[in-house]
Amino acid sequence: MNLQRSRALLMLLLGILVARLAPLGTSVLAQTNRVSTEDPLQAFVGTWVARTSAEDAPFLVLKLHIKSGKLSGTINHFTVAVTNTGGIVGTHGMPGDFPTEDLRVLDGDLGFVWNSDDHLRGDQVKFVLEGTTRARIVIMVSAEQIQKIMADNPGASGFNPVIYLNRELESENEKQVDSASEKSWEPGMMAVLINTAEAQYRFATGVYADYPTLLHSGQLKETGGREFTVLPGSLQSISDPLPGYDLHLLTSPNGRSYQLSIQEKARDCGRGLFTDETGVVFEGRPSGCAVK
């Protein structure tokens, strides 16, 4: 794979960066070992939607709830289309919702059988949490089905079987950033990786972890190896995990929330990336920095 295609893949995996300042406290918060009594399956419960940038109405609606101690849900029917860059979009199909099939949770990810679009019917799907309000669907598509999809979408340059979703009722003031510069893919990817690892760690333990815990527990390595094809920085270093950037991961005393900031070392009060347990990644300046 040449450099240009590698960068294109990284941009697809980067997810959604939202251009809004997320205030970040400066005090160091202690990590505790208190385990939450909340049912970990609650992390998946809710209405998850995927939209094209040009439409207000979502083309995919996944509704998940707990029934008799188990996850169940529905998904709407739509027809898959592919953009010229290979991303999945959809057109509305038959009205109504269809029950999701064979729902199961393994290592913090939710799996089920796709039964919406006819092209992908029967394929295995992995639903990966990136936070409390962000997730992605990865569809395990056969080579034969990819050929059929590409034939129906001759203008597409490829096919990326990933759909990014937002939990409903998020702020209407958020604005999507379409892309990041070539030099900034690593901090964005690191933010998504840590958010995903935190969601999986909390599913297993009931609390979020500081960076040394994520590293020494093996959660970062496990999440990176299972969910990502390319990894940023050095996942072996506690002091300098992302060379050239200051990374601060702060957890609350009860382990129920966290805040992450990633900023260039050479720039005082420069713009950086900020995120928390919601999984929303913001671009802005830390609180206390005057806007010049």
Picking from 126, 165, 185, the residue whose alpha carbon sits closest to that of residue 279 is 165
Is the predicted pLDDT of residue 202 greater than 90, yes or no? yes
Q: Quick one: tokens of 157?
A: 């340059």
Picking from 176, 181, 148, the residue whose alpha carbon sits closest to that of residue 54 is 176
| Fold adopted by 40-167 | Lipocalin (2.40.128)
Confidence at residue 205, expressed as pLDDT on a 0 to 100 scale = 94
Contacts 24+ apart (CB under 8 A), 121-127: 127/44, 127/62
Confidence at residue 21, expressed as pLDDT on a 0 to 100 scale = 32
- 86: confidence class by pLDDT, cuts 50, 70, 90: confident
Is the predicted pLDDT of residue 34 greater than 60, yes or no? no
- 20: confidence class by pLDDT, cuts 50, 70, 90: very low
Please write the tens of the pLDDT for every residue from 142-179.
788 888 888 888 888 888 889 999 998 644 433 333 33
Domain residue ranges in the chain: 3-36+175-284, 40-167
Q: Return the higher-pLDDT residue of 278 and 2.
A: 278
CA distance 78 to 87: 15
> Which DSSP helix (H) or strand (E) runs through 66?
strand 60-67
Confidence at residue 209, expressed as pLDDT on a 0 to 100 scale = 95
Confidence at residue 131, expressed as pLDDT on a 0 to 100 scale = 92
Confidence at residue 200, expressed as pLDDT on a 0 to 100 scale = 95
